[in-house]
Structures are given as C-alpha cells and as structure tokens.
Amino acid sequence: MAQNLQAVGSVTPSQPQSQLDADAGQAYFDHVMAEDSRIEPRDWMPDAYRRTLVRQISQHAHSEIIGMQPEANWISRAPSLKRKAILMAKVQDEAGHGLYLYSAAETLGTSRDEMMGQLVAGKARYSSIFNYPTVTWADMGAIGWMVDGAAICNQVPLCRASYGPYGRAMVRVCKEESFHQRQGFEILLELANGNPAQKQMAQDAVNRWYAPSLMMFGPPDDDSPNSKQSMAWNIKRFSNDELRSRFVGMMAEQVRVLGLSLPDPEVRFNEDTKTWEHGPLDWEEFKQVLAGRGPCNAQRLERRRQAHDDGGWVREAATAYAAKMAAKNEAAA
C-alpha cells in the first residue's frame, strides 16, 4: 500500500530517515493517515507515534507471555488427555503470539531483550486480568470464552491498525484466538451439561471472570486519556466503551446457550441507543490490580523473572556456540 503513495511530494517512503526533511515526512505521514493507509518500518513517523506503538505492542506481547501462566497452571491436572493436549497447545500458541508481537515491536527499533528486561524489572505493564488466580478447571473455560473473547473484540479492529507489521501480526493472532475462545466455550458447555458440581464450577468461574474481562477494555471513555490520539493515528478504531458494549452483547447471547448466567442483573439491550448496557464496574479494584496489588502480581512477575534468570546460562551458551561456529566457518572460507 505504501508504494502507491510514493507520489506524495518528493518523499519516498523507502528513503532512510536521515535524508528526510521532517516536514516532508510529516506530510507523507499525514497523507497516509488521511488515506487510512499503512505506515511501514522504514517510513518516517512522528516520535510519539513510534513510542505509542512500542508501548502498546510490547504491553500486548507481555500480556501473552504473562498470560501463559494462569493456564499453564492447569496443564498438569487437565482432567482428560484430550483437554490436556488442547490446553498445552493453547498456551504454546500464546508463546507464539508473544514472539510475533515482540518481532513487530522490534521493527520500531526496540529490541526484544530490552522489552523483556523491562518486563522482568517490573517496569512494563501487561493486561491486569492475568493477576487473578485460576483456582478451578472451569477457569480454563472462562478464560477462553471471556478473556479471549474480550481480547478478540479488542484485537479484530487492530488488524486494520495503521502500522503494517502490527496489523499483520494481529491477523494471525486473531485467527488463533478465535479457536481459543471456542475451546473455552466448549469446556464450559461440557461442564454446564455435566453433574451439579461441574455446573456449579462453571457458574462460579463465569462469576469471577466476568467483571475483570469487561475491564480488559480499559477505563470508561471519559477517563481514557490516550484513546483520542490513538484513534487519530488509526491505531485504535473504536472507543473502550463501544468495544465493551459489543462484548457484553456477545456474552449475553452466548451465556444462554451455556445454560449459565452473567453475574450482572443490569445487562440489557437499550433499544433507544441500540447498544448493550451493563451494571457498574469496580474501577477502584481495577486501579489497585494495575498498581500491583492484585492477588497474583508478585507471583506472575517472579515466575517470569525466575525463568529468565534460570535460562541465562542457556542463552549465553547458545550465543557463545553461535560465535564459535561463525568463526570456524569464516576460517574455513
């Protein structure tokens, strides 16, 4: 797409930044935004756009990586071999998503090591919902159905994000997420049609994950300072509240198929505004968890840090070996 726009002024997007006049760069960027086209890694872009993307994409990558933990918690205890296989595969997919996203962020000039360093140093954010514990098997269903469901609502519009590598990474991520959501729904459906204890387990999980999953869309629109700029940059396409409403509608329809209920008597479709509405959310709890006071914040970070530290000698060995082989090949050449 970018190639089609090379006629704008004298700017060619493939020129290195150093040769670009900032005004021409800005003109090209503005044109891309106006055309709703795509910015590619070598194109000129405003520093703030770059910073915003690095922050958003790395937070997304961190969320995938930290998000492996609550589900990995049940791999060893999955109650059937089929479920074990599916869960293992799902958590493995999340590692893959983290990889695509770190790679997309790297195109903006920040290395994966640096981003990982920020994460283990506790200086980077990730989705707060992963700071809640997975206490029963039904949580595997609720996470798939609700948490991945919310992620899909958030991420499908990101497939059209103005930054090319991010949008393309999201295409693949979303396709896999939709399977994750279906497997979560299937777990809950099986439990809801199981014995009374299983059905109770499913309802309890839905009750616990409902509010945190609604809060995944971020603060209400009137309290979301960054949203406006992100929308102007064609990164964000819909407001937090729009996406949340859409998600509530999905849940409200699907929960009936499960034969379970949402723990919110105020969920309803407003015929006047044609949107789904929900009851009040505890934003104070959201801020507490975001500030590090969730049930599992310290545990999640410590596990990541420990894996990183324990693996240090392995990464050093791989690097040393690669250097030795390169030297050997060079000597032979």
Partner 1 sequence: MIPTGSQPSQAQAGSLAGVGPSTGSQPSQAQAGSLAGVGPSTGSQPSQAQAGSLAGVGPASATRITPGNALRPEDIALEVQRGEAKPSEDVGEYALRLGDDALILAQRLGHWISRAPELEEDVALGNIALDQLGHARSLLTYAGAAWGKTEDELAYFRREPEFRSAHLFEQPNGDFAVTIVRQFIVSYYQYELYRRLTASTDATVAAIAAKAVKEVDYHRDHSAQWVLRLALGTDESRSRLLAGLRLLWPYVGELFEDDALTARLGDAAVAPSSMRADFDRLTNEVLTEAEIDVPDVPSALGGGRRGQHSEHLGYILAEMQVLAREYPGASW
Residues in 78-107 at the binding interface with partner 1, rule: CB under 8 A: 78-86, 88-93, 95-96, 98-100, 102-104, 106-107
| Beta carbons of 33 and 232 less than 8 angstroms apart | yes
Distance, in Å, from the CA atom of 115 to the CA atom of 271, rounded to the nearest integer, reads 45
Element (H, E) at 269: strand 268-270
CA distance 65 to 46: 29
Question: Quick one: which of 198, 227, 230, 245 contacts partner 1 (CB under 8 A)?
Answer: 198
232 binds partner 1 (CB under 8 A): no
Residue (137 or 276) nearer to partner 1, CB: 137
In the complex with partner 1, the residue whose CB is nearer, 88 or 250, is: 88
Which of the stretches 227-235, 236-244, 273-281, 305-313 binds partner 1 when contact is defined by CB under 8 A? Answer: 305-313
Distance CA 154, CA 314 (A): 36
Phi, psi of 16 (to 5 degrees): -65, 150
Distance, CA of 265 to CA of 127 (rounded, Å) = 26
**Alpha helix (H) ranges present in 17-128?**
22-35, 47-72, 81-106, 112-120
* Binding test (CB under 8 A) with partner 1, winner from 27, 114, 160, 186: 186
Give yes or no for a contact between 83 and 187, defined as CB atoms under 8 angstroms apart. Answer: yes
Choosing from 31, 41, 135, 290, the residue that interacts with partner 1 (CB under 8 A) is 41
Residues within window 140-179 making contact with partner 1, judged by CB under 8 A: 164-165, 168-169, 171-172, 175-176, 178-179
Q: How far is the CB of 282 from partner 1 (least distance, A)?
A: 29
Q: Binding of partner 1 at residue 320 (CB under 8 A)?
A: yes
Name which position in 17, 22, 117, 194 contacts partner 1 (CB under 8 A): 194
Q: Which stretch binds partner 1 (CB under 8 A): 5-13, 243-251, 290-298, 303-311?
A: 303-311
